[in-house]
Amino acid sequence: MQTKTLDNLQEWVDEIALLTKPDKIYWCNGSELESEHINNILIEKKVFTPLKKKPRSFWCTSDPSDVARVEDRTFICSKEESDAGPTNNWMDPDEMKSILEELFDGSMNGRTMYVIPFAMGVVGGRNSKYGVQISDSPYVVASMRIMTRMGEEALKEIRKTHEFVKALHSVGAPLLSGVEDVTWPCNPNKYIVQFPEDKEIWSFGSGYGGNALLGKKCYALRIASYLGWKEGFLAEHMLILKVTSPDKIINYIAAAFPSACGKTNLAMLDPALQGWKVETIGDDIAWLHFGDDGRLYASNPENGFFGVAPGTGWATNPNAMRTIELGNSIFTNVALTDDGDVWWEGMTEEIPTHLTSWKRQSWTSGSSELSSHPNSRFCTPASQCPTIAPEWENPDGVPISAIFFGGRRDSTLPLVFQARNWQHGVFLGATLSSETTAAATGEVGVVRRDPFAMLPFLGYHAGDYFKHWLSLASVTSENNLPKIFYVNWFRKDRNGKFLWPGFSENSRVLKWAIEQVRGETSSRESAIGLIPLPGAIDTENLNISPELMAEVLNVSKSEWENEIPLIHKWFEFIGDKMPLELWDELSFLEENIASM
Ligand code: O2Y
Ligand code: MN
């Protein structure tokens, strides 16, 4: 457990230096000068290639074996196995610590150990939290500077309170003297380990994304979800949007989607509907706290976007494109153009004739290989986004009136429906499912349950997490709680063609939901929840027939008859901690479907 000595941070840094044996120790202050210095180190090491076409921006490629989060090497080491639950890998914390101590022993030999103080949320914010990452990767320093509020200001807060999460990271590649470094040091033996009760993260072997930028998934989701359980808040895998209607009424919404389901595109939505305005508060993570008025307020703990590059383009997400155009960004595992810019599949309609691929090989259009890895990323400051809402750094967050859950499903789930009440909404979150993508290692296109889009990010037992969500209804009145919706942009027809155009047209679904929140639209009770009545979704100027709308909103008895046993199996997998209220919801659904 973290002790509160006068300088617990210095003690920890000394202890880690003794273990990892770096050549040098450097405390990061977050300044411009420091950033230039770190970037120059990375350029000199040939890790970063400066882009001629974008200011202060860099192209970077990882080791081909280190390209994504490693879920099978991710552990929640709570003291009791029953607190990690069936969805997490678990090991006894003492046993895990002794494995890790052996791996970290001398792991920073020949390298610099960077001490990176950071804030999740604005420094001094009511619900902000702090951490210190120790890392032997300058790439991590450069990325943490974009993704968190890193440096002197965060350190001052930590020195005041002595409260911080210890986030230890090593690429696990000690550099022997006389041996030339590789551009992307890493280790085939990877461990991404959270110790929730100790508020500690130990990450070994990977330099990539969620494995290495420890403020993101490890802290802001896994550790923070555990803290939320104990302290009465929620740490969720959700984007946050501000939606302004033509009559200038503002609604803030949060939405949970599994990895790479178009969340970043939705977070920067250019609405197709005239007079509607959508602004961005966050694209990936939301912390939700009760305000003094009993409503849930969301804040984005991050400072940047770490978006999937392929599929992000001028047609699909022009605001992300405008964000990166301003520079100050790192591009990892995308392709480099001959004139010193970046390119990836889906960026532009026109395909460059020649590129350097993410594998640093010459690439010509028509090649059977992709120029960019499917999980390649842009890392860019949120403040540069043209749609960023002025209140995105509001220290108290923004009041949420609707929560959306969504996944990628070919069938069964209609375009949109609303939960009858909070308990039913928790059922929808708990049964969320999606087809897998490249962000996680494993097969692509396989349907898996992903409760609240938190499957890889839960810091404790899923059953306890569902109970925590249910318990919010006893903290405040149902009226104060956000209304819950389920969306599926990805439903297909019999020929495998998407039924709904998606992207900016999704604003039509947001409009219907916001009108539902305001009690202004029309819906009908169906077996699965409240479904829009014919004509209730605004399809003006959209070339979609009433028949097609009926198909995309259809609740099919036979498809749900197939779905229910899968939900049964999922609930049984969660085991004894599965809340009875959610079993009741399942029985109710079963009865409704049977009587269709
Ligand atoms: O593959 C990685 O390491 C990045 S994962 C990621 C990054 C940004 C936002 N979301 C995710 C995710 O997997 O949900
Ligand atoms: Mn994510």
Q: Whose CA is nearest to atom 11 of ligand 1?
A: 259
| pLDDT tens per residue across all 596 residues of the chain | 444 556 899 999 999 999 999 999 999 999 999 999 999 999 999 999 999 999 999 999 999 999 999 999 999 999 999 999 999 999 999 999 999 999 999 999 999 999 999 999 999 999 999 999 999 999 999 999 999 999 999 999 999 999 999 999 999 999 998 999 999 999 999 999 999 999 999 999 999 999 999 999 999 999 999 999 999 999 999 999 999 999 999 999 999 998 768 898 999 999 999 999 999 999 999 999 999 999 999 999 999 999 999 999 999 999 999 999 999 999 999 999 999 999 999 999 999 999 999 999 999 999 999 999 999 999 999 999 999 999 999 999 999 999 999 999 999 999 999 999 999 999 999 999 997 755 554 566 677 999 999 999 999 999 999 999 999 999 999 999 999 999 999 999 999 999 999 999 999 999 999 999 999 988 999 999 999 999 999 999 999 999 999 999 999 999 999 999 999 999 999 999 999 999 999 999 999 999 99
Q: Mutation test of ligand 1: which of 257, 377, 436, 437 has the most ligand atoms closer than 8 Å to its C-beta?
A: 377
Residue 567 to residue 512: CA distance in whole angstroms: 28
Q: Could you give the angle at which helices 138-147 and 32-44 cross, rounded to 10 degrees?
A: 140
Residue 153 to residue 169: CA distance in whole angstroms: 22
Q: How many CB atoms within 10 Å of residue 474? A: 7
- Domain ranges in the chain are 9-48+65-230, 235-304+389-594
Cα radius of gyration (the chain): 24
DSSP 511-536: HHHHHHHTT-S-EEE-SSSEEEPTT-
- For residues 307 and 377, is the Cβ–Cβ distance under 8 A? yes
Q: Is 68 in the pocket of ligand 1 (CB under 6 A)?
A: yes
Strand positions, DSSP E, 24-111: 24-27, 49-50, 58-60, 74-76
Length of the chain, in residues: 596
Give Cα 518 distance to the centre of its chain. Answer: 29
Ligand 1 atom closest to Cα of 306? 8
Q: Is 378 in the pocket of ligand 1 (CB under 6 A)?
A: no
Among 343, 384, 320, residue whose Cα is nearest residue 59? 343
Q: Does domain 235-304+389-594 have CATH number 3.30.450.20?
A: no
- For residues 450 and 432, is the Cβ–Cβ distance under 8 A? yes
Residue written as token pair 């749900």: 560
Q: For residue 306, how far is its CA from the centre of ligand 1 (angstroms)?
A: 7
Q: Mutation test of ligand 1: which of 236, 285, 306 has the most ligand atoms closer than 8 Å to its C-beta?
A: 306
Q: For residue 437, how far is its CA from the centre of ligand 1 (angstroms)?
A: 11
Cβ-Cβ contacts under 8 Å for 420 (sequence gap 6 or more): 525, 529, 530
Number of H helices, E strands in the chain: 15, 30
Q: Annotated catalytic sites, by residue?
A: 261
The CATH class of 9-48+65-230 is alpha beta
Q: Is 210 in the pocket of ligand 1 (CB under 6 A)?
A: yes
Which ligand is nearest to the Cα of residue 380, counting in written order? Answer: 1
- Our CA angle for 14, 116, 170, nearest 5°, is 70
- Residue 24 Cα distances to 20, 135, 266, angstroms: 11, 12, 43
- For residues 58 and 331, is the Cβ–Cβ distance under 8 A? yes
Eight-state DSSP code of residue 221: I
Strand positions, DSSP E, 145-206: 149-150, 165-170, 191-195, 200-204
Structure tokens at 588: 């109710």
Amino acid at 233: F
Q: How many CB atoms within 10 Å of residue 12? A: 20
